[in-house]
A and B are shown apart, each in its own frame.
Chain A
Amino acid sequence: MNSVVCIAHVPDTESRIKIAADGRKVDEAGIKFIVSPYDEFALEEAIRLKEKSPGDVTVITFGPDRAQQALREALARGATKALHVKGEASDADSLGVAKVLAAAIKSVPHDVVFFGKQGVGTDNGLVGPMVAELLGYPQVNVVTHLEVADSKLTAHREIEGAEEIIEAPTPAVITAQKGLNEPRYASLKGIMAAKKIAIDVKSVADLGLDEGDIFNKRVVVVSMETPPEKSGGKKIDGGDPNVAAQAILKFIREEAKAL
């Protein structure tokens, strides 16, 4: 069984975000980048599939030089091959990114294509389904349980207050939700072994794509701004539970008008 896992390299969720001088981008100076948290569940699932039924786990990322760190991390955890498509992915809209990844995915063998359900930070949640459409594959989004056997998969999809069980033939696109599994850490042995694996590097042009169709198209950032900071409202002493409950009740009734 061969899998592809598409990985985004994103600012650590604890980062302080500053807007760059052009007012349209995030200033990357001083930010620590990590593997997008949902992509960790995607990677773990692919590694588990490989452990059950041998094959390759190819990790692919589209991003600048620093994004190779994400691939190294994935290799250290158990991915077997890595492909870095070099480019300023933050200048591409989601469909641009999807076109790049779809072309890259086509170049490697795969039965299942994994994504995180969204890239943490940008939180679009668009690229996985877009890639599925571009490749003509079925998709199951926000997956919390997965079984793959005999060119068929069964996936549990989380929806509002319920769960759908979906069957689809492979190849297919899966986007991973928290709860799909418990991602492992990289072992020292894994880190050492990963260093010996060469990362394949390609450009957007190498994939046969027109850069004009990838960057600054379709969705364009006009401006970014930081929201006004909340200063906090009224603070009261809740030592007496009756007094506290009455104050909350009054707020719910008069301010929120929820009673």
Chain B
Amino acid sequence: MPGVLVFCETKDGKLKKASREALTIGRKLAEQTGGDVIAFADDAAVADEAGRFGAKKLSTSSLGGYNTETYTNAIEQICKDAQPSVLLFGGTSNGRDLAPRVAARLGVGVASDVDRLEWTDGKLRARRSVYSGKVFATLDVTGTPAIATTRPNAFPAQESGGGAAEVANVSASTDSKAKVVETKVPEAGELSIAEADIIVSGGRGLKEAANFSYIRDLAHAIGGAVGASRATVDAGWIDHQHQVGQTGRVVSPNLYIAAGVSGAIQHLAGMSSSKHIVAINKDPEAPIFRVADLGVVGDLFTILPVLTEEVKKAKH
């Protein structure tokens, strides 16, 4: 029975954005492969939501929190039962952790971090960017199931108007060698750049660590995440979790605001696929202006506070 299996993650009884995106493209692929979209999630409470995004069935298990080994067992079991043509993972930390493990278990290949997917001639055709956006590679993934991890924000989530997914339980071995003993949330409530719709990034133009407050204030006002250039991370001004670029995170939010970022090739690689880019820089020749949709040649220390106040007003 062909079809598409989608690994879904939940938080507080809701699907994560990356999972809604993966379900959306999964549904489109299922029109080609035939068969149903099956969601696998750890919480049956998302049956309605998964259904709205196209899942006919929802497989759940009582495995508890994410664990690479036990989740691999569960997905292996669903694949045996349902024989899907395609298996998708949203490109989150857990999706990226799990997809290769499952692939090796099943003896199939993976296209990772893809931004286009189609089903042609019985094969999954995927596009992904390599060499930090300098090249697009088109790949054919053969084997059953064909596995891909999706790039966050590349497949906008759309509801299909489907009814609640039919819930079924999958049983799998709960044995695992590795165990999560603690989860620490360091800076409470801080948004991760990985899935953010809006990112406000700072570079060396901030002059010192304390001036990241200019970036944080705007990010907080607009509801975005804080990004950073490699130079600021290397200088110890901010944690590397914030680093955008080839050795940081590759991001493609709806809106990217770069302030005091000159635009080293490293950095451009990580953000140039953002949908709308604003750059503020004193140097009119800064390479960041080459990728910016709106470039402002000026002083971030005078412009950002005014912009932050205006955004706060607009939000009220």
Q: Which residues A66-115 have CB closer than 8 A to chain B?
A: 93-95, 98
When C-beta atoms are compared, the residue in chain A nearest to B69 turns out to be A138
Q: Counting CB contacts under 8 A, is B247 at the interface? A: yes
Closest to A257 in B: B254
Known: A94-B109, A126-B99. A166 touches B137 (CB 8 A): no
- When distances are taken between beta carbons in the complex, the residues of chain A under 8 Å from B250 are 123
Contact flag A14-B110 (CB < 8 Å), given A98-B104, A220-B139: no
A167 to B178, CA, bound (A): 6
Establish whether residues B290 and A244, one from each chain, have CB atoms under 8 Å apart when the complex forms: no
Which one, A38, A178, A235, contacts B297 given CB within 8 A? A235
Out of B101, B133, B293, which one reaches A130, CB within 8 Å?
B101
CB distance from B131 to the nearest CB of A (A): 5
Complex interface bits, A220-241 against B, C-beta within 8 A gives 1, otherwise 0: 1111111100111111111101
Q: How far is the CA of A197 from the CA of B232 in the complex (A)?
A: 38
Taking the closest CB of chain A, its distance from the CB of B194, in whole angstroms, is 5
Question: Does A193 count as interface, using CB distance less than 8 angstroms?
Answer: no
Residue of B nearest to A125 (CB): B96
On whether A163 and B186 interact (CB within 8 A), knowing A232-B295, A259-B314, the answer reads yes
Closest to B302 in A: A241
* Choice from B99, B135, B182, B183 contacting A225 with Cβ under 8 Å: B135
A17 at the interface (CB under 8 A from B): yes
B280 within 8 A of A: yes
Asked if B97 is an interface residue, CB under 8 A from chain A, the answer is yes
Is the pair A244, B298 in contact by a Cβ cutoff of 8 Å?
Answer: yes
A125 touches B185 (CB 8 A): no
Cβ of A218 within 8 Å of any chain B Cβ, yes or no, is yes
For residue B82, CB closer than 8 A to chain A, the reply is: no
Residues of B within 8 A of A (CB): 68-69, 72, 92-94, 96-97, 99-101, 103-105, 107-113, 125, 129-143, 176-187, 190-192, 194-195, 197-198, 222, 233, 239-241, 243, 246-248, 250, 254-255, 257, 265-266, 269, 272, 275-278, 280, 284, 289-299, 302-303, 305-307, 310-311, 314-315
Tell me if A222 and B297 are in contact (CB < 8 A): no
| Residues in B neighbouring A242, C-beta threshold 8 A | 306
Please measure, in the bound complex, the distance between the C-alpha atom of A170 and the C-alpha atom of B168, giving whole angstroms.
36
| Interface 1/0 per residue, A148-183 and B, CB below 8 Å | 000000100111111111111100100001110000
> Are the CB atoms of B140 and A162 closer together than 8 Å?
no
User: A167-B179, A232-B289, A248-B294 in contact; A259/B103 too (CB < 8 A)?
Assistant: no
A210 within 8 A of B: no
Q: Are A256 and B254 closer than 8 Å at their CB atoms? A: yes
- Can you name 10 A-B pairs with beta carbons within 8 Å? A94-B103, A123-B113, A139-B101, A172-B178, A224-B137, A233-B293, A238-B297, A247-B294, A252-B255, A255-B276
- Report chain B residues within 8 Å CB of A123: 112-113, 130, 132, 250
**A155 closest partner in B (C-beta):** B178
Q: Are B112 and A126 in contact (CB under 8 A)?
A: yes
Q: A132 an interface residue at 8 Å Cβ cutoff?
A: yes
* Beta-carbon nearest neighbor of A227 in chain B: B136
What count of chain A residues pass the 8 Å CB interface test? 89
* Interface contact B176-A138, CB-CB below 8 Å: yes
Of the residues B240, B280, B294, contact of A233 by C-beta under 8 Å: B294
Q: Which residues of A contact B93 (CB under 8 A)?
A: 141-142, 157-160
Main secondary structure of the interface of B (DSSP, over half): mixed
User: Which chain A residue shows the least CB distance to B182?
Assistant: A165
Q: CB of A205 within 8 A of chain B?
A: no
Q: Which residues of A contact B290 (CB under 8 A)?
A: 230-232
Q: Which residue of A lies closest to B256 (CB)?
A: A256
Does A186 make an interface contact (CB < 8 A)? no
Dominant SS among interface residues on chain A: mixed
Chain B residues positioned under 8 Å from A169 (CB to CB): 177
Check if B291 sits within 8 Å of A230, measured CB to CB: yes
CB-based nearest B residue for A99: B104
What is the minimal beta-carbon distance from B92 to any residue of chain A, in angstroms? 6
Q: Across the interface, do A219 and B294 meet the contact criterion of CB distance under 8 Å?
A: no
Task: Known contacts A121-B132, A218-B142; decide if A95 and B178 are in contact (CB<8 Å).
Answer: no
Most buried by B among A16, A138, A140, A232: A232
Alpha-carbon separation in the docked complex, A62 to B294 (Å): 44
> Contacts A126-B99, A161-B191, A163-B186: A219 and B109 contacting too (C-beta < 8 A)?
yes
Distance of A160 Cα from B92 Cα, bound (Å):
8
Contact between A234 and B306, CB atoms less than 8 A apart: no
Interchain CA distance A94-B246 in the complex, whole Å = 20
**CB of A217 within 8 Å of the partner chain:** yes
Q: Do A178 and B247 have beta carbons less than 8 Å apart?
A: yes
Q: A188 to B243, alpha carbons, bound, how many Å?
A: 32
Known pairs A134-B104, A217-B142, A247-B296 / 9 extra A-B pairs, C-beta < 8 Å: A13-B265, A95-B110, A98-B104, A139-B101, A178-B243, A221-B138, A244-B298, A256-B254, A259-B314
- Name the contact of A238 in the complex, choosing from B108, B187, B191, B280 (C-beta under 8 A): B280
Whether B100 pairs with A13 at a CB distance below 8 angstroms is no
Partner of A120, one of B141, B190, B246: B246
A28 within 8 A of B: no
The 3 closest A-B pairs by CB, nearest first: A238-B298, A218-B109, A138-B178
